[in-house]
Structure 1
Amino acid sequence: MTSRRELLARTGAAGVGIAFAGAVGELFTGSSAAARGMGTGAGYGPLVPDPTGLLDLPEGFAYRVLSRTGDPLRSGEGPVPGNCDGMAAFALGRGSVALVRNHENRPTAKYPVPAIDGLTYDPGAKGGCTTIHLDRRGEVTDERVSIAGTAVNCAGGPSLWGTWLTCEENEDRAGTNGYTKDHGFVFEVDARDPYRSGAVPLTAMGRFQHEAVAIDPRTGVVYETEDAFASPFGLFYRFLPAKPLGGPGSLRAGGRLQAMRVPGVADLSSVQETGTVFHGIEWVDVPDPLAAQTPIRDQDFGPLGITHGQKLEGCYWGGRSVYFVCSFARAADGSAATHFGQVWRYDPQARTLKLVIAFGPDTDVQLPGEEPDNIALAPDGGLMVCEDGEGVQHVYGLTRGGEVYPMARNAQNIGTPEAPEWGEFAGVTFSPDGRTMYVNAYTPGTTFAVTGPW
């Protein structure tokens, strides 16, 4: 399949931007800043090359490296683990912040998350989370393991009560790849005291290739994405907690797991026209949430089947709706059609699903940018989008007015001078006061704090 990067090489395009179609303003529904009419500017100007070769930013912005893979953890527990991925920032009081960070480590990880008594689920697994503590000046005061022994911790999402829900993008069983326990779960991580949450899988939320979660603040319903790039593709789920909005540990009480069915649509990639709305969205009970014999996405959902989507990734709540990202779909992989990224909006009250944004060279091959992944609301009411495609990797800003601008560019070449490569961005999030953007370069694992005239 021809990628956007190959198209750019053929056409000689050199611009920096992102191609999309759709009503970008819909992505900001209900954000307080957007309601005030903010988030409509055109960005902060061109990116300035970083003389140290780490992170390119617009003029007036600066970064601080908070953590790098391989350096010693402040706790003395071992080196900083690799493959830095999803992340969230939590207020600790007096301006201090806890930054909880995923590590998407597989069994072959060079820098695993150190196994710590009381925080380790499976000694045979290399993934988990670390937490960076920052004082009110943004200085690192501590960095330590907050959960270990989990597998391929990709994304997740913050709860409504100040904890992090870390997701395993893996469904290996005990006895495979060195694992001693089943994987494919969500775990809750307490940002203040990880021993309080421990390493307990939230089994009722399902065992599958989890990506991200978002919670409806009115009902406590948890929405979950499944990142499956091989057929059968992933599903979009909702979890109805037995104790909704119950606070730390309440998700352990169990609940009901359901998958989304869009009537008449077997594969979301078949929908190509932005603005398309589906009514009467259905939710079907998952036959076996623990996938004891068969992966959930391949289970029997009855004669009407279920709706699949390739690479369902980022997920967040905005206004009265939940938004989720389909990073890409490829017909060559078995999808109904090919696209370079979609953003969908589900309105629980109206029971409608709408294709809000479509990315890709069919819109404008002169503008690079493909495969959107993590998304975060920005202080000005806009969005920040992590790019996870080929070639140069960016964090892009999207304004309510439809303007797209580069916010950061990964300058760390992990290839060669003749054949350069750059790792993806992940985990973009903002400090509780909105003054600092935190973001990870996945490879080499680097956590940045970006400040400037937001």
Structure 2
Amino acid sequence: MTQLDRRGFLATAGGTVAAGLALQTLSSHAAWAEAGRPHHHGRSGYGPLRRVRSSNTGEELLALPEGFTYTVFGATGAPMSDGVATPIAHDGMAAFHGTHKGTVRLIRNHEVRTGPGSATGRVLVPGSARYDELGVAGTTTLEVDPETGRVLEHFISLNGTIVNCAGGMMLHGRGWLTCEETTAGPKQGWQRKHGYVYEVPLRGPRPGRPVNAPPLKAMGRFSHEAVAVDPRTGYVYETEDDSGKPNGFYRFRPRNRHDLSAGGILEMLKIVDRPGYDTREGQRVKARLPVEWVRIDDPDPDLENGAATCTQQGLADGGAKFNRLEGCWYGEGSIYFNSTSGGDAKNGDAPNADGFREGYGQVWRYIPNSKGRGVLVLVYESPGRKMLDSPDNLTFTPRGGIILCEDDASDADADPHPLAPGFENVNRLIGLDPGGEPFEFAVNITDDSEFAGACFSPDGSTLFANTLGSTSGLTPPGRTYAIRGPWRRGPL
């Protein structure tokens, strides 16, 4: 799930400066990891964490550094402005300028994974137009006061889709591109085929009237995670998260950058003269790998009748192999993206179908050039769970720091935390300081669900983030947080 386009930072000023500083941080961090320096828990960043109660509800949900506070809102089950209960499974999100002074507008995904037509935590406005009448997922839009946690407006903005995991901001911040992390269809009981990207305009939907967005089929039918738009070209870069098998990194070249529905060309990244290059292990930080792109001839394959998947098509033409690509962000003329389970340090899970054993995560950078090719660079690879365990979202802050959202994906490697007793796998927001050392910024102390949807308000004062909650039931609930504090005291 996270990238800055995906998480809303491109709605702020100063993104290019932040990207440059953040890249320096990642490079320093890589050098630190290679040198094998010890991890000084709680001694960097903003100092030690402590359990903190929410300013507006009094609940003790997060651990944060001294001086930071938070409000919580938009929890599963809470009534919304359109009369519908807030759905389950809070995931990818972006932040925009609100319609009132001092407010922020959020567009939030719901990765609902229940069966066709299931009523449990469903994203649904009865009687509204939607792509699939049996769809259970989609997006909600919120207008919030970040200081008080007051929700001025909260409604379903897209329904009729399934497994809406992450996405990215549309060109020029016009809205949100929401992605389905699945390729299910009629054979799995759905009315329509799924595995697509959809547009959710910033201002179009309103309470009781969600947008009836058609799928952007030319952008590919595969297990989408996140996207990032290059504002210079309008190209949309797409990550794929299909567990247990090699994944691809894609590029969509639209015929009209202002109208993605007009179609275009879908391509997969390939390393020049190295067909089938495996990026998942054995990589060297800072090595520059020259890139070319191979065309996906059938971006909307008829999977129900045995057509080759987009991934199979790309790999057959020599596309590079990645493992669980998630967060994706544009900045400083480059695309940054996470491989949640890439790397040489292994997390102990059972091997994938092709024998690859998953690692603790990688951060990649694709640098395009004027010829449309460019180079691929491994910026950072986690040496172990204490430093970083399964990075999902990658967010650059207005002050040039970096926040990584963890989605601890390992069943074998327990990851307890002293601030969250009783939980075996604890998820955190991890920051990277200017010296390259990782530090904990936040810990989910109320349940074991992942952090998702991290994004800063346009004025840089507030970090919004979600905890996912359950993707199939009402407990634990999904929640949205607004975190405020002395940002300038540290690297974020």
Pairwise same-fold verdict (TM > 0.5):
yes
The equivalent residue for 2:480 is: 447
The equivalent residue for 2:339 is: 326
Mapped pair 1:57 → 2:42: no
The equivalent residue for 1:132 is: 142
For structure 1, which segment, 292-301 or 85-94, has the greater mean C-alpha deviation from structure 2 after superposition? 292-301
Q: Deviations over 1:237-296 (max 9, x none)?
A: 00001112x2xxx111111111111132532113332122212x1101102100122211
The equivalent residue for 2:192 is: 181
Which of the residues 151, 165, 170 maps onto 1:159? 170
Please give the alpha-carbon distance, in whole angstroms, between the structure 1 residues aligned to 2:22 and 2:63: 29
Report the CA distance between 1:221 and its aligned residue: 0.7
Please give the alpha-carbon distance, in whole angstroms, between the structure 1 residues aligned to 2:337 and 2:263: 24
Please give the alpha-carbon distance, in whole angstroms, between the structure 2 residues aligned to 1:119 and 1:430: 32
Mapped pair 1:257 → 2:257: no
Q: Deviations over 1:358-412 (max 9, x none)?
A: 0132xxx7x3531100111112211111011151110111133313221111011
For structure 1, which segment, 195-204 or 319-328, has the greater mean C-alpha deviation from structure 2 after superposition? 195-204
Report the CA distance between 1:63 and its aligned residue: 0.7
Please give the alpha-carbon distance, in whole angstroms, between the structure 2 residues aligned to 1:218 and 1:84: 31
CA separation of 1:409 and 1:325: change in aligned 2, threshold 3 A: same
- Percent identity, aligned pairs only, is 41
Mapped pair 1:378 → 2:397: yes
The equivalent residue for 1:206 is: 220
Report the CA distance between 1:30 and its aligned residue: 7.0
Which of the residues 71, 75, 87 maps onto 2:82? 75
Mapped contact 1:87–1:155 kept (Cα < 8 A): yes
Report the CA distance between 1:160 and its aligned residue: 2.4
Q: Partner letter of residue 252 of structure 1?
A: S
For structure 1, which segment, 48-57 or 254-263, has the greater mean C-alpha deviation from structure 2 after superposition? 48-57
For structure 1, which segment, 33-42 or 116-125, has the greater mean C-alpha deviation from structure 2 after superposition? 33-42
Please give the alpha-carbon distance, in whole angstroms, between the structure 2 residues aligned to 1:119 and 1:359: 45
TM-score by length of 1: 0.83
Alignment of 1:18-417 (within 5 A): 31-33=16-18, 42-50=44-52, 52-76=59-83, 78-93=84-99, 94-108=101-115, 110-135=120-145, 139-162=150-173, 163-173=175-185, 175-194=186-205, 198-231=212-245, 233-244=246-257, 246=258, 250-263=259-272, 264=274, 265-279=276-290, 281-292=291-302, 293-299=307-313, 304-329=317-342, 332-333=351-352, 334=354, 336=356, 338-349=358-369, 351-361=374-384, 367-389=386-408, 391-413=425-447
Report the CA distance between 1:117 and its aligned residue: 4.5
User: Residue 298 of structure 1 aligns to a residue in which SS?
Assistant: helix
Please give the alpha-carbon distance, in whole angstroms, between the structure 1 residues aligned to 2:52 and 2:147: 23
Please give the alpha-carbon distance, in whole angstroms, between the structure 2 residues aligned to 1:380 and 1:453: 12
> Root-mean-square deviation (CA), in Å?
2.4
Please give the alpha-carbon distance, in whole angstroms, between the structure 2 residues aligned to 1:341 and 1:124: 35
User: Residue 339 of structure 1 aligns to a residue in which SS?
Assistant: coil
Mapped pair 1:428 → 2:454: yes
Q: Partner letter of residue 55 of structure 1?
A: L
Please give the alpha-carbon distance, in whole angstroms, between the structure 2 residues aligned to 1:224 and 1:90: 21
Report the CA distance between 1:429 and its aligned residue: 0.6
Report the CA distance between 1:69 and its aligned residue: 0.6
Q: Partner letter of residue 135 of structure 2?
A: A
CA separation of 1:150 and 1:306: change in aligned 2, threshold 3 A: same
CA separation of 1:43 and 1:192: change in aligned 2, threshold 3 A: same
User: Residue 133 of structure 1 aligns to a residue in which SS?
Assistant: strand
The equivalent residue for 2:35 is: none
Report the CA distance between 1:59 and its aligned residue: 1.2
Please give the alpha-carbon distance, in whole angstroms, between the structure 2 residues aligned to 1:150 and 1:395: 29
Report the CA distance between 1:193 and its aligned residue: 1.7
Please give the alpha-carbon distance, in whole angstroms, between the structure 1 residues aligned to 2:376 and 2:449: 33
Mapped contact 1:212–1:314 kept (Cα < 8 A): yes
Q: Deviations over 1:2-24 (max 9, x none)?
A: xxxxxxxxxxxxxxxxxxxxxxx
Mapped contact 1:127–1:150 kept (Cα < 8 A): yes
Please give the alpha-carbon distance, in whole angstroms, between the structure 2 residues aligned to 1:345 and 1:451: 29
Mapped contact 1:269–1:335 kept (Cα < 8 A): no
Please give the alpha-carbon distance, in whole angstroms, between the structure 1 residues aligned to 2:358 and 2:379: 17
Please give the alpha-carbon distance, in whole angstroms, between the structure 1 residues aligned to 2:396 and 2:433: 10
Please give the alpha-carbon distance, in whole angstroms, between the structure 2 residues aligned to 1:211 and 1:45: 33
User: Residue 128 of structure 1 aligns to a residue in which SS?
Assistant: strand
Mapped contact 2:172–2:231 kept (Cα < 8 A): no
User: Residue 449 of structure 2 aligns to a residue in which SS?
Assistant: coil
Q: Partner letter of residue 353 of structure 1?
A: L
User: Which consecutive unaligned segments of at least 5 residues does structure 1 have?
Assistant: 1-28, 414-421
CA separation of 1:300 and 1:451: change in aligned 2, threshold 3 A: closer
CA separation of 1:307 and 1:91: change in aligned 2, threshold 3 A: same
Please give the alpha-carbon distance, in whole angstroms, between the structure 2 residues aligned to 1:177 and 1:45: 49
TM-score by length of 2: 0.77
Equivalenced residue count is 405
User: Which consecutive unaligned segments of at least 5 residues does structure 2 have?
Assistant: 1-13, 26-42, 54-58, 343-348, 409-414, 416-424, 470-476, 488-492
CA separation of 1:204 and 1:34: change in aligned 2, threshold 3 A: closer
Q: Deviations over 1:28-65 (max 9, x none)?
A: x9732466899979421111113533111111111111
Please give the alpha-carbon distance, in whole angstroms, between the structure 1 residues aligned to 2:366 and 2:261: 26
Please give the alpha-carbon distance, in whole angstroms, between the structure 1 residues aligned to 2:281 and 2:359: 9
For structure 1, which segment, 322-331 or 282-291, has the greater mean C-alpha deviation from structure 2 after superposition? 322-331
Please give the alpha-carbon distance, in whole angstroms, between the structure 1 residues aligned to 2:432 and 2:133: 42
